[in-house]
Copies of this chain bind each other. A is one copy, B any other.
Amino acid sequence: MSRNISIPGAIDAAAAMPSSALEADGITKSFRDRKTEVKVLDGLSLTVQPGQFASIIGPSGSGKSTLFHIIGGLLKPDAGAIRMNGSDVTGQKGRIAYMPQQPALFPWRTALDNVLLPRELSGMPKEQARDEARILMERAGLSGFENAYPDTLSGGMQQRTAFLRTLMSPQEVMCLDEPFSALDALTRTDMQHWLLDMWEADRRSVLMITHHIEEALLLSDVVYVMSNRPAAILQKIEVPFARPRSEALLHQPAFLALKQEISDRMRNELRKS
């Protein structure tokens, strides 16, 4: 992991005030397509503090991936701004370590070379990164498939490869779009724990989209619940459970209650539309 690689502009603003690692401020976005116009985001705001683990939960099609595209600079918001460490980075690319919803692996690269891609992009020596990537792949249960091409990997294996690729990205803020959706329950739990371990070790800020309320509660400091399209933040939930959190937490009444609360909140939201 290369958590000590500094991103230009990341430090200078931080001195001024204890600003947030990532802030989306009043983001509004519509898609126009011939006659129809779809308003997707409607003044959405959220913040991720430095070293914080935040999750987003929201109905399918509400605009979560679109928000990530805006944060990543791929799309320009119609209104609002993205700030990192206090400076405006709206429309700037390459500021986040991003895991897309679809794996988007390059079919002409082996799994290992796909994992190495971010290192190549930041111009770092490939040889040393290769060993690191091998270790990561082994940890993710992919050993033996280093030289397999993506289309010979199973869906879940592709997703894990994409996850590793994101881990290899040097940026301070990680944005994960449903990173474990294609994994079986146990592999998923395993990956969650691993992610938590890594996060606790280096405290990169994380923003994760998930459909799994348990997952969100288990991993996050704060959970944002998104409304239906056009989306804004419906609720911001500070998760009160102490860390490190164990599997046992899943069965505690407080946990179950919070889970139920989020579930109900979303049910109401979905009913509305």
Q: Which of B60, B157, B183, B190 contacts A182 (CB 8 A)?
A: B60
Which positions 124-152 of chain A face chain B at CB distance < 8 Å?
Answer: 141, 144, 147-148, 152
Report how far A66 CA is from B59 CA in the complex, Å: 31
A33 within 8 A of B: yes
Report how far A36 CA is from B141 CA in the complex, Å: 17
A26 within 8 A of B: no
Report how far A49 CA is from B190 CA in the complex, Å: 35
Q: Which of B148, B178, B184, B267 contacts A60 (CB 8 A)?
A: B184
Known A182-B181, A183-B60, A211-B183; contact A31-B188, beta-carbon cutoff 8 A: no
What are the interface flags for A1-39 relative to B under an 8 Å C-beta threshold, 1 for contact and 0 otherwise?
000000000000000000000000000000101001010
> Least Cβ distance of A104 to chain B in Å?
12
A186 within 8 A of B: yes
A235 within 8 A of B: no
> A213: which B residues are within 8 A, CB to CB?
185
Known A101-B155, A155-B178; contact A58-B184, beta-carbon cutoff 8 A: yes
Copies of this chain, count: 2
What are the interface flags for A248-273 relative to B under an 8 Å C-beta threshold, 1 for contact and 0 otherwise?
00000000000000010011001000
Q: A33, B155: Cβ atoms under 8 Å?
A: no
Q: A185, B212: Cβ atoms under 8 Å?
A: yes
Which positions 148-201 of chain A face chain B at CB distance < 8 Å?
Answer: 148, 152-157, 160, 178, 181-188, 190
**Chain B residue with the shortest CB-CB distance to A256:** B251
> A270: which B residues are within 8 A, CB to CB?
186-187, 190
Residues of A within 8 A of B (CB): 31, 33, 36, 38, 57-66, 101-102, 141, 144, 147-148, 152-157, 160, 178, 181-188, 190, 211-213, 263, 266-267, 270
